[in-house]
Amino acid sequence: MREDVQLAPLKVEQAGDILRWMNGPEVYHNVGVRREPSFEATIEWIRKSSNDESISASAVMLGGRHVGNVVLDRIDHYLLSARLSVYIGETAERRSGVGTTAVFLKLAEGFDQLALHKVWLVVRCGNSDAVACYARLGFQTEGVLRDEFWHNGLRESVYYMGLLRDEFARYRVPRGAGTTI
């Protein structure tokens, strides 16, 4: 786990970063953007996420710099479940453990503070780096949703992956313990 990664509340002032990342091809295609990103829609989403009990959105901070976002949404307070999504917008910070650490921190928040029982996600089958990251954190593939995603003009299947609270507990490593997930 990286010691220099922190989660912080999303702020309207970060809308410019988010819009820039959403307009970049790697983030745009991997998150499944359905309409053209705009500054106004980005601000609206940040405001909505801070007032909606079904969303817990965080800025991923690296040494005080906003480098991405990690979100639990579709929070179901009856089933105690939520969907996870993450992206590291700053290209230089990808594949460096920042995303894995951010996901770990958000999972800890979800299981500890929100008392979730399960966190689930969908990930493109072709996104092998993300699939490997989620598997390292304990997510299990629960199924394949065929032709579920539109990516670069083609349909692509996605894995539906889930992680239960007691499974996550097995992967917990205190920060600073020198162990990398």
Q: What residue segments make up the domains of the chain, in order of their start?
A: 5-169
- Calculate mean pLDDT across residues 116-130: 94
Pairing of strands 65-76, 154-164: unpaired
Q: Which helix (H) or strand (E) holds 9?
A: strand 5-9
Q: What is the pLDDT of residue 93?
A: 79
Domain 5-169 has what CATH class?
A: alpha beta
pLDDT in tens, 42-87: 899 899 999 999 999 999 999 999 999 999 999 999 999 999 999 8
Q: What is the pLDDT of residue 38?
A: 80
For the record, the structure tokens of 137 come out as: 């954190």
pLDDT in tens, 96-120: 899 999 999 999 999 999 999 999 9
For the record, the structure tokens of 127 come out as: 């996104």
Q: What is the pLDDT of residue 80?
A: 98
pLDDT in tens, 8-47: 999 999 988 888 877 766 665 666 655 677 889 889 989 9
Q: What is the pLDDT of residue 178?
A: 42
Write the single-letter amino acid at 11: K
Please, which residues have CB within 8 angstroms of residue 46's CB and are 6 or more apart in sequence? 10, 11, 12, 14, 15, 18, 57
